[in-house]
Homo-oligomer: A and B are copies of this chain.
Amino acid sequence: MSDYRPPLDDIRLVLAEISDLAAVCDLPGYQHVDPETVDGVLDELGRFVAEVVAPVNRIGDEEGCTVDDGVVTVPEAFGEAWDRFVEAGWGAISQDPDYGGGGFPGAVQTVMTELLATASRAWSMGPMLTVGALDALHTFADEGLKETYLPKMVSAVWSGTMNLTEPQAGSDVGALTTKAVPQDDGTYRIFGTKIFITFGEHELTENIIQLVLARTPDSPPGTKGISLFIVPKYLVGDDGSLGERNDYKCLSVEHKLGLHASPTCVLSYGDAGDGAVGYLIGEEHQGMRYMFKMMNNARLGVGVEGLAVSERALQQAADYAVERRQGRAIGGPAGEQAAIVEHADVRRMLLTMRAYTDAMRCLLYLNAATLDVAARHPDAEARQAAADRAELLTPISKAWCTDVGVEMASLGIQVHGGYGYIEETGAAQHWRDSRISPIYEGTNGIQAMDLVGRKLPMREGGVMADLLAEVGRFDAELAAAGDGFASIRSGLADALAAMEEATSWLVANGLADPNDAMAGSTPYLRMFGQLVGGWLLARLALGAQRRLDAGEGDAEFLATKVVAARFYAEQLLPVVRAQLGSVTAGKGDLFAVPAGSFSA
């Protein structure tokens, strides 16, 4: 197995060229931060994840987690890494300084999410879920709850979760039946069973703060009747001391394809009789609205998982390809085995991984920075434009990056040949770990429906049109950069034309029968992600070329960025047009097959 290296050069280049980190640091509330501070933080963070988190990745996969009478055991190494995470204060990096946070931009949080997930996907689930719960509390809870819970969650001394899913309520959250019964003292008692709760139970932290969706009595059916509650594992006294164990229990942990050491729990609330004590967050019946507000961040975080697994798989495959010798290189000396990186097809796999990894990082960091602008820009119009842009990008950040992540982890296996199929090599783990990301936090099919059904109609298509117009205008910059960028220009122009045609078709045909639009939603999402990836890679390449021309930075590293963008434009962008027929086919063939006839 290869050593993990935090990809700090890549991260810095994308932050500078795509996220405009300097502009983000100028936003109100971030002015105590500047790109140099971030640089220093990244050095330290890189060391931390390489030394502390990366080593637990294989251990976690091999040891997994177990449950015994409600007590969940995760690998001991996970606990040591968590303690050092708390000690170093990394959990607080982007949190509100009023509650002990570091007040860094969300864009920096996204970098941390990447680094943690690249080092160990399974371990990183704990901090990631804690940040999600934190955000919800910070945005919607009243001051009393915030004072009680936030500081300990910011420091990661306590962890947090999200409890949405029930056996009959997966994608269909509105079907949940967990009950919240109001008490005279203003608290609630929670009864019901939640499944698929990530880090739902463990002994890593002193307390676990469950955020639980449930129904109060006589609530309207569906999503309109759902409220959000805090249910701490241990009740918290007024002085912050931990009191008795709340009335819920972990019944089992799932036996999963990957993320073996991330406990995925079935939690039963109120089984002991009186119900689990819960505290309403914000207002009754607003639970789904709160969840939706949180989703941009959560979906962005899941998208980062696709990037993370690609980066890790690429590092491992690239190292192996340089070490492993098999076969003679074309034109190489007879009787001498060449490193497999000298074979054209191995290079194709590695350059594909390189290009997609860069493209994903560009998209995700742009999305993160756009959310910072949406939250903090002094000008309301600029905030709104950024919020719209972020809404549009979120489904591709989540779905495109996680689909591509699985594909890249698969290429990582392939580079290893037969050894890729042996678990000890570690390449297979990345692939197994990657496979959940297209499923949770809204399946990628749901993301596609969101893109076509909610995001495309924003401003009557104006938000999408603005982005496509920006891609079109970018051609002038490429033209100014000279002949070396000619194939990027033509690749982008063709992809953009296909995307515009698909968009027009959906706008024209999606109203009469929404299924005609939904039928093409997944290929439309793929084409959008693939196009945005190519556009941002080209922007990154222009930045790299500018640095090369100025003689700044590592020439080999920068030149590879230009190659990757050209390779992507010539060889991967045609995927965009290849989806057009699927987008414009409508629902006809899909619904021509009787429900029971897909398999004979």
Contact = CB atoms under 8 A, between A and B. Distances in A.
A361 to B, nearest CB: 12
Interface in A50-93: none
Interface string A415-434: 00110111110001001100
Stoichiometry, as copies per complex, reads: 2
Contacts of A222: 335
A436 B414 contact: no
A326 B5 CA distance: 42
Nearest to A257: B428
A337 interface: yes
Interface stretch (A119-127, A341-349, A371-379): A341-349
A369 interface: no
A122 to B, nearest CB: 13
A560 interface: yes
A574 B563 contact: no
A218 interface: no
A399 to B, nearest CB: 11
Given A518-B330, A598-B350, A418 B440 contact: yes
A585 interface: yes
A413 B439 CA distance: 9
Given A171-B327, A330-B514, A566-B589, A256 B417 contact: no
Interface string A314-350: 1101110110011100110001010101111111111
Interface in A571-600: 571, 574-575, 577-582, 585, 587, 589-600
The A interface, classified by DSSP as helix, strand, loop or mixed, is: helix
A526 to B, nearest CB: 11
Interface in A536-557: 556-557
A511 to B, nearest CB: 12
Contact of A341 (B330, B342, B351, B595): B595
Interface stretch (A205-213, A441-449, A463-471): A441-449
B597 A570 contact: no
Contacts of A5: 599-600
A365 to B, nearest CB: 16
A162 B124 CA distance: 43
Interface in A135-170: 165, 168, 170
Contacts of A95: none
Nearest to A331: B515
Contacts of A582: 570-571, 574
Given A563-B589, A574-B578, A600-B10, A348 B522 contact: yes
Interface in A79-129: none
Contacts of A297: none
Given A560-B597, A575-B578, A435 B439 contact: no
A367 interface: no
A519 interface: yes
A335 B413 CA distance: 45
A327 B587 CA distance: 18
Interface in A371-430: 406, 410, 413-414, 417-418, 420-424, 428
Nearest to A196: B418
Given A351-B590, A585-B571, A592-B563, A9 B345 contact: no
A573 to B, nearest CB: 8
Nearest to A313: B599
Contact of A589 (B341, B567, B574): B567
A495 B410 CA distance: 27
A447 to B, nearest CB: 10
A175 interface: yes
A587 B570 CA distance: 13
B443 A330 contact: no
B418 A438 contact: no
Contacts of A326: 170-172, 175
B256 A591 contact: no
B344 A255 contact: no
Interface of A: 5, 7, 9-10, 165, 168, 170-172, 175, 195-196, 221-222, 254-258, 311, 314-315, 317-319, 321-322, 325-327, 330-331, 335, 337, 339, 341-351, 353-354, 406, 410, 413-414, 417-418, 420-424, 428, 431-432, 435-436, 438-440, 443-445, 448-449, 491, 513-515, 518-519, 521-523, 556-557, 559-560, 563, 566-567, 570-571, 574-575, 577-582, 585, 587, 589-600
6 A-B pairs with least C-beta separation = A578-B578, A318-B599, A345-B445, A347-B590, A350-B598, A257-B428
